[in-house]
Amino acid sequence: ATVGRNRPVIAIERGRDSVADARINLTAREARIVKADVERWRPSPAPVVVADPAREGLGKRAVKTLLRADPSVLVLVSCDPSSFGRDAALLLDAGLHVDRWTVLDMFPGTSHVETVARFTR
């Protein structure tokens, strides 16, 4: 997903390596990188949320946390079809709608795919 160039970015990362990577990848942006579990994050309002969780997905608590940011757009990236299905159902139950989605075969020759979906209010 592309985030507007003039908008600040808040990256919530749980792993030390992910935090280090975010610091490198976001050097050209106005960005704040927070090392935390997303379930414990206290979000402020954000027009766009991009969630790219680990294989186990977001789950109920993380979805509730992200929805407290009251985004008009939430992009979910998932590397596991079953956790994507569960998380998508939670977002749909919360009143969001699937606007667009695609499946990417980023690892040819394996059973792994990435699903990317855009949810809107």
**Residues acting as catalytic residues:** 79
Q: Which residues contact 56 (CB under 8 A, 6 or more apart)?
A: 80, 83
Q: Which helix (H) or strand (E) holds 23?
A: helix 16-25
8 Å CB contact between 38 and 68: no
8 Å CB contact between 9 and 33: no
8 Å CB contact between 48 and 84: no
Q: Where are the alpha helices (DSSP H) in 26-121?
A: 59-67, 81-93
